[in-house]
Amino acid sequence: MNKEQTKGPSAMDQNRRNFVKFGALGGLGVALAGMKQAGAQCACDRAPHLGPAPAELFRSQPLEKIRVGFIGIGGMGGGHLNNYLKIAQTFPVQIVAVCDIDPGNLKSAADRVVKAGQPEPTQYGERGEYDWIRMLDTEELDLVFTATPWRWHTPICVKAMETGSHAATEIPAALTLEECWQLVETAEKTKKHCVMMENCNYDSVEMTILNMVRKGLFGQILHAECGYLHDLRGVKFSSGGEGRWRWFHSTQRDGNLYPPHGLGPVSQCMNINRGDRYDYLVSMSSPSVGLQEYVREHLPVTDERRHVTYKLGDVNSSLIKTVNGCSILVVHDTNLPRPYSRKVLVQGSKGIVQKYPEPLIHIEGLSEGHGWEPLSKYTEKYSHPLLARLKSMAEGAGHGGMDFVEDFRLIECLIKGEPMDMDVYDAAALSAVQPLSVASVADRSRPKDCPDFTRGMWKKWPPLGIIE
């Protein structure tokens, strides 16, 4: 829910109010700052309480029509809303309700729905930031889509499933190990999907790499590197949008705060939760300097955020070991000036491929000597068929079209009753890297065991196939 207002207090006054508000969130602060070793271990012990996971990948009954409710329809939520209105030209999708505490966002969303030829959706949010509860208790929904600040993701997903809806959320799906287990337990109990919307899984280069992995070009996959390397200083301290809340997380934790963008695609290449799983990780951070320098140089002296202690190390490196012995390097770097990158490197016994700073590949027996080749040399042959099918429909959508592809796949799976490309176990495993990295950093980079949210079923579930 985007709290930016078109009228009202000055930016300085609003920043002060946000500072006081976030500082008063004692429960959240304690939960995030308290991810010490003991807390991480006790959360891993929840598996026996749940019993075995399903023997097969979960699929719900096919839906003839999908009634959707959106919670948070500012930046990302508004983009997904546009995608759903376009998808409604292919599948029977109706936007039934929208919720946001920004009246401007509500009106804009309702206007777009009506313009697309659908009935005006019921609007929620005027009663405050908990009005989404009234929406879920009132509306008959098949899918609830969450694009709010991070701390709402798990509570909304849990409530959505408990009230009979499938749940989809922007990343991360959870902030603590306890929340990860809560999502898994609720999804299994209610027999509802809970999907973390990792759009980077559907970017063209990542999907081409996955197709090549499935074709065996790289041999046995042994190692991957990935991350989220993005100068977010201007975003964190903007006067609206994510600037209302994202900076606060940098004051609470030191670790890898945003692993899924890079980790999602390489995990699919390595069959995580479907043939392998994360076993343990170690994590370490550089000093925290970037945000301190930025606020001194860019924020007015009256802004309280100049005097906050920022705990987040500027560069965090986390190394994950899988049960089958593979390794994954995950980097988080959002506080320093730098070009954008998600790293995205996959290495196997027969070759290696990378995406940044440019897509390059080396395949034994095909590439000359020890040199790199442009990946473009192989894309025509190995381009993912899903992209070819949806290319024209995805044109103009967010992040080069990958947002549309992920939204389309979610709706398609619900309509057809197919397993999701990424399910609740993936949402939990990828989100858990965040609190585990925080615990490792706080414990002198000692290894932290990764929970097995599948409770052994990763050995039986089939790898993600190539969707035609």
Q: DSSP letters of 225-294?
A: EEEEE---HHHHT-SSGGGGTHHHHHHH--S-S--HHHHHHHHHHTTBTTTB-EEEEEEEE----HHHHH
Across the beta sheet with 448-449, the strand order is: 373-374, 360-363, 351-354, 345-348, 221-229, 327-333, 315-322, 278-285, 448-449
Rounded CA-CA distance 82/51 in Å is 40
Query: Where do the DSSP E strands lie in 193-274?
Result: 194-196, 221-229
Q: Token pair of 274, please? A: 């479907």
Fold match between 49-198 and 201-385+423-459? no
Give the pLDDT score at 66: 98
State whether CATH 3.30.360.10 applies to domain 201-385+423-459.
yes
Give the pLDDT score at 22: 47
Nearest of 429, 427, 434, 226 to residue 312 by alpha carbon: 434
Nearest of 295, 328, 293, 332 to residue 312 by alpha carbon: 332
- The residue written with tokens 């990542």 in the block is 206
Rounded CA-CA distance 103/344 in Å is 39
Nearest of 178, 142, 148, 156 to residue 34 by alpha carbon: 178
Across the beta sheet with 194-196, the strand order is: 122-124, 93-99, 66-71, 143-146, 166-169, 194-196
Q: Please report, in tens digits, the pLDDT of each residue of the chain (468 residues total).
A: 333 333 333 444 444 444 445 443 444 554 454 443 333 444 455 666 888 999 999 999 999 999 999 999 998 999 999 999 999 999 999 999 999 999 999 999 999 999 999 999 999 999 999 999 999 999 999 999 999 999 999 999 999 999 999 999 999 999 999 999 999 999 999 999 999 999 999 999 999 999 999 999 999 999 999 999 999 999 999 988 898 999 999 999 999 999 999 999 999 999 999 999 999 999 999 999 999 999 999 999 999 999 999 999 999 999 999 999 999 999 999 999 999 999 999 999 999 999 999 999 999 999 999 999 999 999 999 999 998 899 888 887 878 889 999 999 999 999 999 999 999 999 999 999 999 999 999 999 999 999 999 999 999 999 999 887
Give the pLDDT score at 400: 82
Give the pLDDT score at 37: 35
What homologous superfamily does CATH list for 49-198?
A: NAD(P)-binding Rossmann-like Domain (3.40.50.720)
For the chain, the domains span 49-198, 201-385+423-459
